[in-house]
Structure 1
Amino acid sequence: MSGPTGAQFEITYGQARAVVTEIGASLRAYAVDGVDYVESYPDDTHPPMGSGAVLVPWPNRVRGGRWPFEGGVEQLELTEHERGNAIHGFVRKLPWQVISHTGSLISLGVDVPAQQGWPVPLRVTISYALDAHGLTVTHGVTNVGDRPVPFGVGMHPYPRAGRSATDDCTLQLAATTSLPLSAETMTPDGPQTPLAGSVLDLSKPTLLRGVNLDDAFGGCEPDADGLIRHRLLGPDGGVEVWADPAFRWVQVYTPNDFLGRGRAVAIEPMTCPPDALNSGVDLITIAPGEAWSARWGLLPR
């Protein structure tokens, strides 16, 4: 292990290349013909702004770190101190073990033990595969405990439309609703509202110049082929973030100070909204011995 993200694992397919880290099993780089399709960062730095992070067993935030379970209340460690939340699960800072590594595919796994605020152990896996259809990411969760437990899964990529500047890009989401979030806690502050006709309606290509987002969107609808598709398109390239129907939610974040890039955009596929461990919205409940999996991916355009 070397550096804050540990060993670096490369996979290739033709002119495509991706790099996955040992710590967090994060996606650190993805390029085709030398053109980047995710924001990258040096291997001797920590991932900036959660870049490429795997978010299990919950994405986004748990308000106050508290959530109900089997008639009681679990208290998670508050890992977002300034807002008083537990954020982004347990696995993004853990070392993962390589399960298999071929030229174009790598699979890794990590154990989530029962611990403060999380009473049921899980086995978590992820696979990254390159082929003619781009990059496919497959998440797996297995309940290795003796009780059912709810969970959610997310990922935190910062896609980029090739060489296009972020402000010159349009973003189109498959979402049909938005979820208002409290400015203080970034957790839900009201019910879902329809996107159609609202200021946050990104169902049609919307120029990102002047648009500042850190918002949760839901009701993501699959295309005719059964896949959810979000599109980031620019004058010098584009990328599609596709996902299985399990990923009905997406968080979009547009920081102005991403390391080495400045203006960037995170398009984060999620199976459930922020604070789902409390609201119960789109949580997945997994029985003892049961396994779950779902995919998302990146397709350069």
Structure 2
Amino acid sequence: MDACGERFVIVSGDARAEVDEIGGGLAGFAQGGRVRVEPHPPTARPPKGSGAVLAPWPNRVRDGRWSDRGTGYRLALTEPDAGNAIHGLFRHVPWTLTDRGGDHVVLTAVAPVQPGWPQPVRLTVTYLVGAGGLTVETAAENLGSAPVPFGLGFHPYLRVGDVPTDELELTLAARTALPARDRLPDGPATALERPFSSTPLAGLELDDTFGGCAPGHDDELVRHRVAVPDGGGTELWAEPAFGWVQVFTPADFPRQGPDGAVVASRAVAVEPMTCPPDALNSRTDLIELVPGEVQVLRWGVCATG
């Protein structure tokens, strides 16, 4: 295994996904002849969190400090310039292949007890492609001797083929926004003044957290979408446990063009999360992992229109 690990490719019909061994993250997804999730080249550190699995907490922990049941902990500051611990403990470790077929791959990894983290947590992530698109199922298990708080997120950048990001419209299932300072909560969530409903991305610079994500009428899933004005688009769906979403629109995502050259491009990450930033401190929507119990959470991506 080299520093970048293996790249697993799964295919079913017109759906094709790639998954990284290092980090266990999604390295691209296409359906219906169009790219739906930004790919990235094999690299030991995918750019801007591309495709990453975010656990046992997504987003950030302020100063890396948190406490549980009267015990204080200090995590490594993996966003040192801002003084935060960011995106969990699984992003840069090798995952173990436990099952593989033409249309699916199953990977597992353990975050062991370490400075700042008191119980071992095992994740098993299944990536499956089919006529309905991509489904990602995560099973989280506490291998330790005491309960531990847990949050999960993923970091896909959505695309609609070669349509530039600034020509897309964004729709979110969110109902609230979380005020932020230095990209961390700075007050309680407040009602969105204007929902994201076919909102043009042109001119929007976002690195913001939105909550209150809930299924619509006569539906069982949370749904976010990027689309072109004529209606064709890419949808990210998630189970209701993913009540939060981070939207990030960097101007310098390294995208590979048809000629193979890499150019800095606008991109849009739509990151489903089970809890908001700094949830290890606020305790908002944390999942309690009890030893011997397995929490299963699902989300996916598909073509629309």
Shorter-chain TM band: over 0.9
User: Equivalent residues in 2 for 1:1-301 (5 A)?
Assistant: 1-2=1-2, 4-44=3-43, 46-183=45-182, 186-197=183-194, 201-202=195-196, 204-223=197-216, 224-235=218-229, 237-260=232-255, 262-301=265-304
Structure 1 residue 162: deviation in Å?
2.0
- Partner SS state of residue 111, structure 1: strand
Displacement of 1:72 after TM fit? Answer: 1.7
What residue identity is the alignment partner of 2:10? I
Q: 1:235: Cα distance to partner?
A: 4.9
Partner Cα distance (1:191, 1:142) in 2: 30
Structure 1 residues not aligned, in runs of 5+: none
TM-score for the superposition, normalised by structure 1: 0.95
Q: Structure 2: how far apart are the matches of 1:16 and 1:235?
A: 23
Shift in Å, 1:46: 3.3
Aligned length: 294
Runs of 4+ in structure 1 over 3 Å off: none
CA distance in 2, matches of 1:51, 1:271: 18
Structure 2: distance between partners of 1:196 and 1:46:
37
Query: Where do 5+ consecutive residues of structure 2 fail to align?
Result: 256-263
Deviations 1:110-166 (A, max 9, x none): 011111100011111111000111000011110111101111000000011222110
User: Which has the higher mean CA deviation after the structures are superposed, 24-33 or 55-64?
Assistant: 24-33
Instruction: Quote the offset at 1:210 in angstroms.
Output: 0.4
* CA distance, structure 2, for counterparts of residue 133 and residue 40 of structure 1: 20
- Indicate the structure with greater strand content: 2
CA-CA distance at 1:70 after TM superposition: 1.7
- Whether the aligned pair in 2 keeps the contact of 1:55 and 1:155 (CA below 8 Å) is yes
Partners of 1:235 and 1:257 in 2: how far apart? Answer: 24
Name the SS of the counterpart of 2:45 in structure 1. Answer: coil
C-alpha contact 2:110 2:123 (8 A) present in aligned 1? yes
**CA-CA distance at 1:296 after TM superposition:** 0.5
Q: Is the 8 A contact 1:165 1:234 kept in 2?
A: no
Instruction: Report the Cα offset of residue 259 of structure 1.
Output: 0.2
Is the partner of 1:93 in helix, strand or coil?
coil
1:37 counterpart SS class: strand
Q: How large is the Cα RMSD of the aligned pairs?
A: 1.3
Deviation of the 1:42 alpha carbon: 1.7
3-state SS of 1:225 partner: coil
User: How far apart are the structure 2 equivalents of 1:5 and 1:290?
Assistant: 32
Partner letter of residue 55 of structure 1? L
